[in-house]
Amino acid sequence: MFISFEGVDGSGKSTQINLLKAEIERNGIECVLLEEPGTTLVGLEIRKLLKDYEKVGDLSSVTELLLFAASRSELVDKEIKPVLAEQDKMIIVDRYIDSTLAYQGYGRGFDTDKINYINDIVTQGIKPDLTFLLDCHPFQSIGRINKFRNKDRFETEGLDFYQAIRSGYLEIAKLEPKRIKVINAELPIPDVASIIWDITKSCI
């Protein structure tokens, strides 16, 4: 089984991924965590480029899109495909195809048909069985980030950018209601975790 987590920065993806992994392992199933961009050697270098706003400065929206795509291609080829071939393991990935649609499509205004085309190439058609969209007002998520750490490239954007991404994510979820589950991420952490575990359990 292949699960992806989506949502704006600070919506609680890392928090919930770690809780879900622990719950899955308590039930005797091995679980592999992957991160986008990152995890592979090439992916980690790309992550540095994308995150280091101070050093790299503004990137053209096309460059940004293609860097994410290149990182995803490596992740699918080197990590996702081999793990999926081992039938008894679960994969959780922190961000995947829907992040590109939400951020580069709805956020940056890049044509979503073209993004879908690029996503199809780099994923070799591999889609998650289940996607948790952690939905939360940007006021809340930005507030959580400001409280705990320095901002990266996207986090220097304003509230409008995050509102466009949030509504973009909700549009995407409407198109694929079976795969994408919208979760109210404004609830307390244990409540969100329990909703996510109930849905996962019913799909294992």
3-state helix, strand, coil in the chain (%, to 5): 60, 15, 25
Interaction of residue 185 with ligand ATP, rule CB under 6 A: yes
Interaction of residue 4 with ligand ATP, rule CB under 6 A: no
Cβ proximity to Mg ion: between 14 and 124 the closer is: 14
Interaction of residue 9 with ligand ATP, rule CB under 6 A: yes
Map the footprint of ligand ATP across residues 112-171, applying CB under 6 A: 144, 148
Cβ proximity to ligand ATP: between 13 and 166 the closer is: 13
Output Rg (C-alpha) for the chain, integer angstroms: 16
| Closest to 42 (Cα-Cα) out of 74, 80, 84 | 74
Contact (CB, 8 A) for 179 and 130: yes
The phi-psi region of residue 44 (left if phi > 0; otherwise alpha if psi is between -120 and 50; otherwise beta) is: alpha
For the chain, the farthest-separated pair of C-alpha atoms sits apart, in whole angstroms, at 45
Least Å from the CB of residue 143 to ligand ATP: 9
Contact (CB, 8 A) for 77 and 53: no
61-75 vs 41-51: helix axis angle to the nearest 10? 160
Cβ proximity to ligand ATP: between 28 and 188 the closer is: 188
Least Å from the CB of residue 33 to ligand ATP: 12
Binding mask 76-105 for ligand ATP (x = CB under 6 A): ------------------------------
The region of 102-110, 121-129, 168-176, 187-195 touching ligand ATP under the rule CB under 6 A is: 187-195
Interaction of residue 12 with ligand ATP, rule CB under 6 A: yes
Map the footprint of Mg ion across residues 5-34, applying CB under 5 A: 13-14
Tell me how far apart the alpha carbons of residues 104 and 61 are, in angstroms, rounded to a whole number.
7
Q: Which residues bind ligand ATP (CB under 6 A)?
A: 7, 9-15, 144, 148, 185, 187-189, 192
